[in-house]
Amino acid sequence: MKKTRLIEILPKINEALAEGQTFSFMPNGISMLPTIVGGRDTVTIAKPTNKLKKFDIILYRRKSGQFVLHRIIDLDGDGYILCGDNEVYPEKNIEQNQIIGVVTRYTRKGKIIEVDSKKFISDAKKRVNSRPFRQFIFRAKNKLKRIFRIK
Protein backbone atom coordinates (compact mmCIF):
# COMPACT_ATOMS: atom_id res chain seq x y z
CA MET A 1 0.00 0.00 0.00
CA LYS A 2 1.19 3.49 -0.85
CA LYS A 3 1.74 5.99 1.96
CA THR A 4 -1.05 8.54 1.64
CA ARG A 5 -2.01 11.56 3.68
CA LEU A 6 -5.38 11.02 5.30
CA ILE A 7 -6.69 14.42 4.22
CA GLU A 8 -6.33 13.21 0.61
CA ILE A 9 -8.45 10.10 1.15
CA LEU A 10 -10.92 11.52 3.69
CA PRO A 11 -13.72 11.83 1.08
CA LYS A 12 -13.31 8.13 0.20
CA ILE A 13 -13.26 7.17 3.88
CA ASN A 14 -16.40 9.19 4.60
CA GLU A 15 -18.19 7.76 1.55
CA ALA A 16 -17.35 4.15 2.46
CA LEU A 17 -18.35 4.57 6.11
CA ALA A 18 -21.59 6.38 5.18
CA GLU A 19 -22.49 3.39 2.97
CA GLY A 20 -21.89 0.99 5.86
CA GLN A 21 -18.64 -0.31 4.41
CA THR A 22 -15.21 -0.53 6.00
CA PHE A 23 -12.09 1.28 4.80
CA SER A 24 -8.50 0.04 5.06
CA PHE A 25 -5.39 2.19 5.00
CA MET A 26 -1.79 2.23 6.13
CA PRO A 27 -1.27 4.73 8.94
CA ASN A 28 2.03 6.46 9.55
CA GLY A 29 3.66 7.64 12.73
CA ILE A 30 4.93 5.93 15.86
CA SER A 31 2.28 6.67 18.48
CA MET A 32 0.69 3.20 18.26
CA LEU A 33 3.91 1.17 18.44
CA PRO A 34 4.30 -1.73 19.02
CA THR A 35 0.68 -2.55 18.19
CA ILE A 36 0.61 -0.82 14.80
CA VAL A 37 3.76 0.06 12.88
CA GLY A 38 3.25 3.06 10.65
CA GLY A 39 4.20 2.50 7.02
CA ARG A 40 4.04 -1.31 7.42
CA ASP A 41 0.75 -2.35 8.99
CA THR A 42 -2.78 -1.63 7.81
CA VAL A 43 -5.92 -0.83 9.78
CA THR A 44 -9.54 -1.34 8.81
CA ILE A 45 -12.07 1.12 10.20
CA ALA A 46 -15.85 1.19 10.27
CA LYS A 47 -18.43 3.69 11.38
CA PRO A 48 -19.08 3.04 15.07
CA THR A 49 -22.40 1.24 15.47
CA ASN A 50 -22.22 0.69 19.23
CA LYS A 51 -21.07 2.89 22.10
CA LEU A 52 -17.30 3.05 22.00
CA LYS A 53 -15.54 1.47 24.96
CA LYS A 54 -12.23 1.24 26.72
CA PHE A 55 -9.52 -0.42 24.59
CA ASP A 56 -11.14 0.51 21.23
CA ILE A 57 -8.75 2.11 18.75
CA ILE A 58 -10.29 5.05 16.93
CA LEU A 59 -9.42 7.40 14.12
CA TYR A 60 -10.32 10.94 15.07
CA ARG A 61 -9.56 14.48 14.05
CA ARG A 62 -8.18 16.92 16.57
CA LYS A 63 -9.62 20.41 16.62
CA SER A 64 -6.34 21.49 14.99
CA GLY A 65 -7.26 19.34 11.98
CA GLN A 66 -4.65 16.63 12.64
CA PHE A 67 -5.75 13.02 12.17
CA VAL A 68 -4.85 10.63 14.99
CA LEU A 69 -5.21 6.90 15.57
CA HIS A 70 -5.21 6.21 19.33
CA ARG A 71 -6.73 3.88 21.90
CA ILE A 72 -9.53 4.75 24.31
CA ILE A 73 -8.07 4.37 27.79
CA ASP A 74 -11.03 5.75 29.71
CA LEU A 75 -14.34 7.56 29.40
CA ASP A 76 -14.77 11.15 30.54
CA GLY A 77 -18.42 12.10 30.88
CA ASP A 78 -19.60 12.52 27.29
CA GLY A 79 -16.05 12.39 25.92
CA TYR A 80 -13.15 10.01 25.70
CA ILE A 81 -9.64 9.90 27.09
CA LEU A 82 -7.22 8.59 24.47
CA CYS A 83 -3.58 7.65 24.35
CA GLY A 84 -1.32 6.05 21.78
CA ASP A 85 0.24 2.76 22.83
CA ASN A 86 3.66 4.40 22.52
CA GLU A 87 2.61 7.59 24.28
CA VAL A 88 2.64 8.45 27.97
CA TYR A 89 0.33 11.43 28.27
CA PRO A 90 -3.40 11.05 27.58
CA GLU A 91 -5.51 13.36 25.48
CA LYS A 92 -8.78 14.26 27.18
CA ASN A 93 -12.18 15.52 26.12
CA ILE A 94 -12.33 13.93 22.68
CA GLU A 95 -15.92 14.36 21.55
CA GLN A 96 -18.07 12.01 19.52
CA ASN A 97 -18.21 14.47 16.60
CA GLN A 98 -14.42 14.26 16.23
CA ILE A 99 -14.48 10.51 15.68
CA ILE A 100 -14.24 9.31 12.10
CA GLY A 101 -14.15 5.56 12.62
CA VAL A 102 -13.29 2.68 14.91
CA VAL A 103 -10.70 0.03 14.07
CA THR A 104 -12.33 -3.34 13.45
CA ARG A 105 -9.09 -5.16 12.68
CA TYR A 106 -5.49 -4.51 11.78
CA THR A 107 -2.87 -6.41 9.88
CA ARG A 108 0.53 -6.71 11.53
CA LYS A 109 3.34 -8.40 9.60
CA GLY A 110 0.72 -9.94 7.31
CA LYS A 111 -1.33 -11.41 10.20
CA ILE A 112 -4.90 -10.18 10.69
CA ILE A 113 -5.86 -9.28 14.27
CA GLU A 114 -9.59 -8.86 14.88
CA VAL A 115 -10.56 -6.49 17.69
CA ASP A 116 -12.80 -9.07 19.31
CA SER A 117 -10.00 -11.66 19.49
CA LYS A 118 -8.35 -12.75 22.72
CA LYS A 119 -4.99 -11.51 21.34
CA PHE A 120 -6.32 -7.99 20.76
CA ILE A 121 -7.94 -7.79 24.20
CA SER A 122 -4.85 -9.16 25.96
CA ASP A 123 -2.51 -6.77 24.11
CA ALA A 124 -4.84 -3.82 24.75
CA LYS A 125 -4.94 -4.48 28.48
CA LYS A 126 -1.13 -4.77 28.62
CA ARG A 127 -0.64 -1.48 26.76
CA VAL A 128 -3.18 0.47 28.81
CA ASN A 129 -2.07 -0.97 32.15
CA SER A 130 1.63 -0.33 31.41
CA ARG A 131 1.11 3.40 30.70
CA PRO A 132 1.93 4.55 34.27
CA PHE A 133 5.17 2.55 34.10
CA ARG A 134 6.02 4.14 30.72
CA GLN A 135 5.38 7.57 32.28
CA PHE A 136 7.83 6.77 35.08
CA ILE A 137 10.52 5.61 32.58
CA PHE A 138 9.92 8.67 30.40
CA ARG A 139 10.33 11.07 33.33
CA ALA A 140 13.43 9.27 34.66
CA LYS A 141 15.02 9.30 31.20
CA ASN A 142 14.38 13.04 30.81
CA LYS A 143 15.77 13.75 34.26
CA LEU A 144 18.96 11.81 33.45
CA LYS A 145 19.30 13.70 30.17
CA ARG A 146 19.12 17.01 32.05
CA ILE A 147 21.60 15.86 34.69
CA PHE A 148 24.13 14.62 32.16
CA ARG A 149 23.20 17.11 29.44
CA ILE A 150 22.61 14.33 26.95
CA LYS A 151 20.90 15.21 23.70
Q: What is the CA radius of gyration of the chain?
A: 16
* pLDDT tens profile 36-94: 999 999 999 999 988 899 999 999 999 999 999 999 999 988 899 999 999 988 999 99
The three-state secondary structure class of 69 is strand
Backbone conformation region of residue 85, classed left if phi is above 0, alpha if psi is from -120 to 50, else beta: alpha
**Position 150 pLDDT exceeds 80:** no
Instruction: List the end-to-end C-alpha distance of the chain, in Å, as a whole number.
Output: 35
Distance CA 128, CA 90 (A): 11
Where are the chain's structural domains?
A: 6-148
pLDDT of residue 145: 81
**Domain at 6-148: CATH code:** 2.10.109.10
8 Å CB contact between 135 and 88: yes
Distance CA 146, CA 151 (A): 9
Q: What is the pTM of this model?
A: 0.87
**Position 2 pLDDT exceeds 70:** no
Residues in the chain: 151
Among positive and negative, which fits the CA dihedral 88, 91, 81, 39? negative
The closest of 36, 71, 43 to 57, measured between CA atoms, is: 71
pLDDT of residue 10: 94
* pLDDT tens profile 106-135: 999 999 999 999 999 999 999 999 888 877
**Position 3 pLDDT exceeds 80:** no
pLDDT of residue 1: 47
